[in-house]
Structure 1
Amino acid sequence: MGLPRRRSQVVILLFEGFSLIHMGRLAETFNLANRLRRPDNSLRDSYDLLLVSVNGGAVRSSSGVVIWTDALDAHYAKDVHALFLVGAAGVPAERDERLLAWLRHAHPHTKLVQSVGGGHHILQLAGLERKDVVAVEMPGGAMLPEALSASRASEVDADADVALTSALSAVKRDCGYEVARQVMHELLPTVPQQFARSIFDSREARASDLIRASAHQLRVSSENRISIADAAQAAAMSERNFLRRFKQEIGVTPTEFVLRVRLEKACHMLADTDLPADKIARRTGLGSGDRLAKLFRQHLSMSPTEYRTFARARLTDGGMPESDMVERLRGSAS
């Protein structure tokens, strides 16, 4: 008789006005991991997904959809494996001492804590910081200096991107690289293969803890100005040694890695929003719409506008082959 399979509690704590899209992507990450996890892998973690609010009952999203939740008090704080606080954009949640006490009990025992929108305000009220998967996996339990500071982005979408990346990293740690890769491809079907691969590249999965942590940190801070000297210092290496190790283990230089991540984020924003190219370029750290267009021509052989049409048509057409869609784009442009 085999050992019982351990199930990890993933709590998504919802506040009024939360983003249904952001909550849905987080929930689907762990639901997909449960479904894709190999059935013969009985000792690997799987997840109990819990949608929770302070008082339980109905919580209304920003789009007016109502989600039914459990009451926070119904769950023992020390049992939480991963915690996501999802609140309304720009609307600080009210102070609630029961909630703050629960968070303070849960935080020391929880491996992953992330917040989106107003959720970050609640963590601040409790005097707590976000936790990231890579930060708690350092050798000997040590964390890189300022390992989480770059994830404190003011944009709600940037918060959500960091939370989703952390959720995928948790799945990779708990369920293995292959499950995480499949989850990513089902969650993000519109991202071109060469950029999607950058999140869970097989070389990154095999990299040392220090270099893998550095790659993660470069990713979450990619919209800002990147200092290779600071990244090397955080990894406790000389700049020359850091550049050599990063290229050797990841396969590209840190600068090339950041460019790929920025292009990947631009692809997401083109597919998921109606923002103009100039705004997308600024929000992803690519500078201007002209530079974004030049990079898309160079790496994808199409303009950002063509890519947006391509990505949305792929979803509408049920995922038709990329080569057929490129031909259609070329035909419509001629």
Structure 2
Amino acid sequence: MGTPHRVVVLALDGVYPFELGIPSRVFDAAGGRYEVLTCSIDGGPVRTNADFSVSPPQGPEALRTADTVLLPPFDTAKLTREPPAGVRDALASLPPGARVVSICTGAFVLAGAGLLDGRPATTHWALADLFRAWYPRVRLDPDVLFVDDGDVLTSAGATSGVDVCLHLVRRDHGIAVANRAARICVAPPWREGGQAQFIERPVPEPVANGTAPTRRWALENLHEPLTLADLAGHARMSLRTFVRRFNEEVGTSPGRWLIRQRVDRARDLLESTDLPVDDVAARVGFASGTSLREHLHAAIGISPLAYRRTFRGDLTARR
């Protein structure tokens, strides 16, 4: 697999312990493809927002060796418009081409350092007004889980950090590796970055006839031309009730969810098989190869053949 991709996590004063541990948990589950180091801005201990401190083994010099730098969130009481002392210089020392990622309040540090000017970004929805007031040059979207802008990625709070890290594994190494990492972490393998941060009822009322069984059935029958009526019929609900409950439980519409599953399955087949594009389309329930091309391009901006060349070529090179 070659030299592991080095991820350096910068822990700032007031860091949230849960998010601080996400990079190691997710990237270490990717089978040796990443090396995760944790550093502080002065090489000393860092107080968390809990009742303990942590002592990262690295100082800011570790940032100069990073392929990816990740800023976990810190207590909102520590928020300042300008980055904490030394952080701007430390970020300026990153090697050319290094990728920068933030979770939640970490986006404030990137914005304060000028790294988000003119870029799309997100942070926790509850901090959106303050973020806009401090950083009007940033194209903030507080309604999404994460934003991938190439070499800079920002995510919302808590578990969206898991989402963005799995997204990077997926982007770097493909669906199969990301899915294995997700299974090891017992996490959902994919939550779309554009999914809403805030769902009206994030924990739905327990009901005997929720939509989970129908979602499992749909995944087992993606090759069929499933319609909204088919899904509602399987769930034994009216269309209106099914759509409402689906949105409450999943945070997106049934149609959008179904297309996402078809595209994901198609990507898996493009990576792992030599099936012609039309056969891949048929196996995942798209009417034709043209339909697959349109949906794949809408999702990731690339054609099936280009996607296959990229991932199959990368995998061959790694082997």
What's the TM-score once normalised by structure 2's chain length? 0.47
Of Structure 1 and Structure 2, the greater helix share is in 1
What's the TM-score once normalised by structure 1's chain length? 0.46
